[in-house]
Structures are given as C-alpha cells and as structure tokens.
Amino acid sequence: MVLQELGSQISKALAAVQEATVVDEKVLDACLKEISTALLQADVNIKLVFNMRANVKKRVDSDTGAGLNKRKIIEKAVFDELCAMLNSGAETKDTGKKQEKDLKKGKPNVVMFVGLQGSGKTTTCMKYAHFYKKKGFKPAMVCADTFRAGAFDQLKQNATKANIPFYGSYSETDPAVIAETGVNKFKEGGRDLIIVDTSGRHKQEEALFEEMRQVSVSVQPDLIIFVMDGSIGQAAFDQAKAFKDTVEVIQHATTPFSSISRCCLACFSCLNCPACLD
C-alpha cells in the first residue's frame, strides 16, 4: 500500500513535468519538492532525500544542452537516483553489474542470518533455502538459536515441510558450537548452501551481540544477511548499523516484503548494503 502510494505520487510529479509548456527551474523544483515530500512521508531517511534532490539537479544541469529533451533527462535522472537510493552497494561503479555475493553451486556457501527478535529471520531463512533449492542448490539449515525456547522445533518443522536437511541441538547451550558442528556436518555431506539461523538480539544486548560475533567466527560465513521488520521505520538505521559494526553484514532482507518502502531499504542504502532475494 505504502509502496503503491509512493509510486503514484512520484508518477504524478513527473507527469506535471511532461505537461508543462516550458520546463524551467521552477517546474523542476516543484517536481523535486513533490517527490521529496512523498519519500519523506514514506519514512525515507532525510539525508537520502536531500542527496537525491541535489544529484537530480546536478545531472539535469550538466546533461541539458541544445536539442536534448529536458523532460526525458529529468525523468531518467529521477529514475536513476531512486534506483541508486534503493540499490546502493548492489552495483559496482565500473561494471554496473550486481556486486552480490554470488553463491556458487558445488562449493559450500555458508550464509548466516542475523537480526532483531521476531524480525522474520527463521521465516526468511526458509524462503531463502526454498528459493535456492529451486535454482538447483542443495540447502541445509542449522539452528544456532539457543535463546528462544522452541526455536529449534520451529526450524525443524519448517525444514521438514520443505524437505531440507537440518541440524540443531536440545542439549548444547553454546550457539557457536552448534553452528560449527552443523556447518561442518553439512560441508562433509556435500551441501552447497548451509544456512545458519541465529537468535534475535537488540543492539543494547551486548552479551548477545558478542555471542553473534562468536557464531560468525566459528562458521566463517561467506555472507551475512540482516533481516528487519519493515514496520520499525527509521529505527532500522541504528539497529542495522550496530549489527554491521559487529559482524560483516553484506545483504539485508525486509519483512514482510509489502512494507519494503517504510524506510528500511533507504536506511540500509546508507550502509551500502543491497537487498537479497530481489
């Protein structure tokens, strides 16, 4: 819903440029003001909105020349800036190609999921496993959540339903030990996508952050994905930063996908971290 509204407000602002008899500074400013207001209402970080506005203006100023269609230039500049805002870090400057950590079939890719309590990590782990299974990978799941009672049962139930091998323990209390044992077991078993689900934690919970760091050290993940609940809005930024300062977060996922515009992607683009499963 939020995404739809945002899209139609941006389209409306661009349509006004198309309809203007003369496209001058005033028309461009009005268009950018409308787009900026829509983005701010969608909870996008103010710094990003400010940058978007400045970059569009800069591009329009430098690209406009005799014979060039100013309306098209504005439309393209806005489109590119919005893509860059949502995709920061996803494209390399020189090749324009996705800088995503490509998972390579036949080699054991270890992917660790981290995030706040209840943000959707376990659900996203399952979606991720299912997605890559369909692409021909051989996923396996490791439950390194010893914090929440029932976490292992939840993962076990979901993995069984999706027919994905899993590992966890009811007796071991150290998540780093479980994670390492599970990852080694699946590496030996020839699995090429080993997903490590971890406990939920908040940036003020130092011990839990230390635990997350230890899990990361024990499994040496190829990729760490931060999962956040899109409805937390601007608070996503501080949390994301705390996670990224502790472990090397490389991608992020927002749940549910429909709330994606509620700032989280924008906040994350500040951290130079693209979305997974896009």
Ligand X SMILES: Nc1nc2c(ncn2[C@@H]2O[C@H](COP(=O)(O)OP(=O)(O)OP(=O)(O)O)[C@@H](O)[C@H]2O)c(=O)[nH]1
Please, what is the minimum distance in Å from the beta carbon of residue 235 to ligand X? Answer: 16
**Cβ–Cβ < 8 Å for 265, 254:** yes
Count Cβ atoms below 10 Å from residue 235 Cβ, excluding itself. 16
196: Cβ–Cβ under 8 A, 6 or more apart, which residues? Answer: 110, 111, 112, 113, 142, 144, 179, 182, 183, 215, 219, 221
99, 117, 169, 214: which one binds ligand X (CB under 6 A): 117
For residues 35 and 112, which CB has a smaller minimum distance to ligand X in the complex?
A: 112
53, 121, 138, 191: which one binds ligand X (CB under 6 A): 121
User: Which residues within the stretch 148-177 sit at the binding site for ligand X (CB under 6 A)?
Assistant: 148, 151
Report the partner that residue 120 touches, choosing among Mg ion, ligand X, none (CB closer than 5 to 8 A by kind). ligand X
For residues 39 and 116, which CB has a smaller minimum distance to ligand X in the complex?
A: 116
Nearest-angstrom CA–CA distance, 92 and 11: 28
For residues 88 and 146, which CB has a smaller minimum distance to Mg ion in the complex?
A: 146
Please, what is the minimum distance in Å from the beta carbon of residue 113 to ligand X? Answer: 8
Please, what is the minimum distance in Å from the beta carbon of residue 172 to ligand X? Answer: 17
From residue 13 to residue 32, what is the string marking binding to ligand X with x (rule CB under 6 A)? --------------------
From residue 204 to residue 233, what is the string marking binding to ligand X with x (rule CB under 6 A)? ------------------------------
For residues 89 and 175, which CB has a smaller minimum distance to Mg ion in the complex?
A: 175
12, 256, 272, 277: which one binds ligand X (CB under 6 A): 256
* Residue 123 lies near ligand X (rule: CB under 6 A): yes
Report the partner that residue 117 touches, choosing among ligand X, Mg ion, none (CB closer than 5 to 8 A by kind). ligand X
Nearest-angstrom CA–CA distance, 263 and 229: 11
Cα→Cα distances 112→31, 80, 100, 182, 211, Å: 42, 31, 15, 12, 13
**Residue whose beta carbon is closest to Mg ion:** 122
For residues 23 and 253, which CB has a smaller minimum distance to ligand X in the complex?
A: 253
3-state SS, 203-236, equals CCCHHHHHHHHHHHHHHCCCEEEEEEEHHHCCHH
Cα→Cα distances 157→85, 92, 160, 223, 266, Å: 38, 39, 5, 25, 34
DSSP 105-170: TTS-EEEEEEESTTSSHHHHHHHHHHHHHHTT--EEEEEE--SSTTHHHHHHHHHHHTT--EE--S
* Residue 115 lies near ligand X (rule: CB under 6 A): yes
Report the partner that residue 123 touches, choosing among ligand X, Mg ion, none (CB closer than 5 to 8 A by kind). ligand X
Q: What is the DSSP letter of 98?
A: B
* Residue 200 lies near ligand X (rule: CB under 6 A): yes
- Which residues of the shown chain bind ligand X in the complex (CB under 6 A)? 115, 117-123, 145, 148, 151, 200, 255-257
